[in-house]
């Protein structure tokens, strides 16, 4: 793990903690740093997170509306595997950009981007790394979508397979370039303005990642589908990326921590992509059925909200450990590798405070995004009170599970001297995609059963009494 420079105020916090723990007894375990030592209160966290979260939700709502519109395009109706590709590819971009944002936020909070030369080295190596990851995992996501299509009984067309793979790789690379540059600007700007990048970078990365990636996928795949008879177009894409990838690897190698990610950081994002692909299979099988009307609109929203909030929490806990701990050794107040949900949400420690703040944002956030979707697509989505309650319950269950798993996963990764920024966020956001899509499908199923039950002649309709 790279040695990280601490800012003067962070050193003061460490001294305050040492003084506090030493005042009682040499053997006394230091108390967990709460708001009074961290400098962040629940109000401070909420005020910094709320606006980016709401802006992110607008982006997610836009992504849902776009998916609802794109599902009727010829390329989506003719190439069924393209719908299966949407969650893993969109989730992949969320994973890559959120891990990039989390790494840069940690670097900013520990003073690594204050020196211009060090800033250039950190930024260029990380952007090159994301390009390599996007190209490789974009190809793997397309292959996974094709394999899932075969397993579920769909045939395999060689030309469509080439179109799917080329579209996935080019979309992932273009989105990585645009979003990576944006993340650098946000993190560096937040550092200069004195705002904690952990609170704002990850939700913006996730929301814009969904919107931009989905738009690029629709446009790029339509272009390749219209020119699918060309013998040289898709091979040219593969040759171009085969030449570009080694150059990006050389740039990434100038930063030792990035080299370790190049060597050992593939498993988390590949596994997360496979988990998200299962969510894509659920989406593919439900969109064409009438009882799931509106599924395309809400799937990006519920998956994105869960991914946003768990990425914020993971990034915050990771920064907390980089400041207060040593890789491989947890602080005394975080010794339990398997904390119970009460310690995750109910303790006085600063990470529990942020977990409570993030959980409180779920219901008002979803209500706001649901209202926007209902206003714009009122005829295409269910708006009954029963469905709204089921939808809010699904969002709460999803985020509660993810925040608790974030607490567990970060501790386990830190105990193994792994950087949580790179090894936890992909797992958690991939699981968020699967949980979100699965719970949303259950919402539609339950809502359909309840509607059937209360209709005249349904099983819950009371029999007419004697006249």
Within 8 A by CB and 6+ apart from 444, the residues are: 286, 291, 292, 294, 295, 382, 387
Is residue 27 included in any domain, yes or no? Answer: no
Q: pLDDT tens, 199-225? A: 777 666 666 777 888 899 999 999 999
Nearest to 349 by CA among 28, 32, 14, 10: 32
pTM of the model as a whole: 0.73
Given a contact cutoff of 8 angstroms between Cβ atoms, the answer to whether 318 and 106 are in contact is yes
Total domains in the fold of the chain: 1
Question: Does position 53 have pLDDT exceeding 90, yes or no?
Answer: no
Per the listing, tokens 């790029």 go with 220
Residue with tokens 């040219």: 236
- Residues 22 and 252: their CA atoms lie apart, in Å, by 43
Q: Which domain holds residue 239?
A: 41-449
Residues in Cβ contact with 153 at an 8 Å cutoff, skipping those fewer than 6 apart: none
For residue 12, is it within any domain?
no
State the pLDDT at residue 94. Answer: 65
Residue located via tokens 């944006």:
182
Q: For residues 209 and 311, what is the distance between their CA atoms, to the nearest angstrom?
A: 13
Chain-centroid distance of CA 263 in Å reads 22
In a domain, 456, yes or no: no
Q: Is the pLDDT of residue 20 over 60?
A: no
179/182 Cα distance (integer angstroms): 5
Task: Quote the pLDDT of residue 444.
Answer: 92
Using the predicted structure, report yes or no on whether residue 452 has a pLDDT greater than 80.
no
Q: Does residue 399 surpass a pLDDT of 90?
A: yes
Residue 466: inside a domain: no
- Does any domain span residue 117? yes
34 located within any domain: no
- pLDDT at res. 445: 92
d(CA 428, CA 276): 10
pLDDT for residue 453:
66
Indicate whether 31 belongs to any domain: no
Q: What is the SS3 assignment for 251?
A: helix
Distance, CA of 229 to CA of 74 (rounded, Å): 16
Beta carbons within 8 Å of 31's beta carbon, 6+ residues apart:
20, 21, 333
| Residue 137 clears pLDDT 90, i.e. is over it | no
Q: Considering only 27-41, 100-114, 223-237, 307-321, which range has the smallest mean pLDDT?
A: 27-41
CA distance to 91, 224, 334, per residue, from 85 (Å) = 10, 16, 39
Tell me if 467 is assigned to some domain: no
Is it the case that residue 36 has pLDDT exceeding 50? no
Q: Is the Cβ–Cβ distance between 134 and 89 less than 8 Å?
A: no
- The CA-based angle 13-14-20, given to 5 degrees, is 90
Length of the chain: 467
């Amino acid at each position: 793990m790279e040695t990280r420079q601490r800012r003067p105020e962070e050193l003061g916090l460490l001294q305050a903690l040492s003084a506090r723990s030493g005042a009682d007894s040499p053997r006394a375990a230091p108390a967990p740093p709460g708001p009074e030592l961290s400098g962040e209160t629940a109000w401070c966290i909420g005020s910094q997170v709320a606006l980016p979260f709401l802006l992110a939700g607008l982006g997610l709502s836009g992504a849902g509306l776009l998916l609802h519109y794109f599902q009727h395009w010829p390329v989506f109706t003719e190439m069924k595997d393209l719908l299966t590709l949407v969650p893993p590819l969109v989730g992949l971009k969320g994973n890559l950009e959120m891990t990039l944002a989390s790494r840069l936020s940690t670097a900013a909070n520990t003073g690594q981007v204050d020196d211009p030369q060090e800033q250039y080295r950190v930024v260029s190596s990380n952007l090159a790394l994301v390009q390599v990851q996007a190209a490789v995992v974009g190809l793997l996501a397309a292959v996974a979508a094709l394999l899932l299509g075969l397993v579920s009984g769909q045939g395999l067309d060689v030309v469509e397979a080439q179109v799917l793979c080329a579209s996935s790789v080019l979309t992932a690379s273009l989105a990585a370039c645009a979003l990576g540059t944006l993340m650098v600007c946000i993190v560096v700007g937040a550092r200069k303005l004195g705002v904690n990048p952990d609170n704002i970078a990850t939700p913006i990365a996730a929301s814009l990642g969904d919107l931009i990636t989905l738009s690029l996928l629709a446009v790029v795949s339509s272009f390749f589908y219209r020119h699918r008879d060309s013998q040289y177009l898709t091979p040219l894409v593969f040759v171009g990326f085969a030449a570009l990838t080694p150059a990006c690897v050389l740039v990434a190698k100038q930063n030792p921590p990035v080299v370790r990610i190049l060597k050992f950081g593939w498993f988390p994002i590949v596994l997360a992509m496979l988990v998200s692909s299962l969510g894509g299979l659920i989406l593919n099988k439900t969109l064409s059925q009438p009882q799931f009307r509106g599924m395309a609109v809400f799937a990006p929203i519920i998956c994105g909200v869960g991914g946003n909030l768990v990425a914020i929490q993971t990034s915050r806990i990771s920064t907390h450990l980089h400041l207060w701990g040593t890789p491989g050794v947890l602080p005394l107040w975080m010794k339990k590798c398997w904390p119970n949900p009460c310690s995750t949400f109910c303790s006085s420690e600063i990470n529990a405070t942020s977990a409570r703040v993030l959980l409180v944002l779920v219901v008002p956030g979803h209500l706001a995004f649901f209202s926007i979707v209902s206003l714009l697509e009122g005829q295409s989505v269910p708006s009954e009170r029963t469905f709204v309650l089921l939808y809010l319950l699904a969002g709460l269950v999803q985020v509660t599970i993810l925040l608790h798993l974030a607490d567990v996963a970060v501790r386990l990764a830190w105990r193994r001297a792994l950087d949580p920024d790179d090894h936890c966020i992909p797992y958690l956001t991939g699981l968020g995609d699967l949980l979100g899509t699965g719970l949303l499908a259950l919402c539609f199923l339950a809502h359909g059963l309840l509607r059937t039950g209360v209709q005249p002649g349904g099983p819950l309709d009371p029999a007419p009494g004697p006249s």
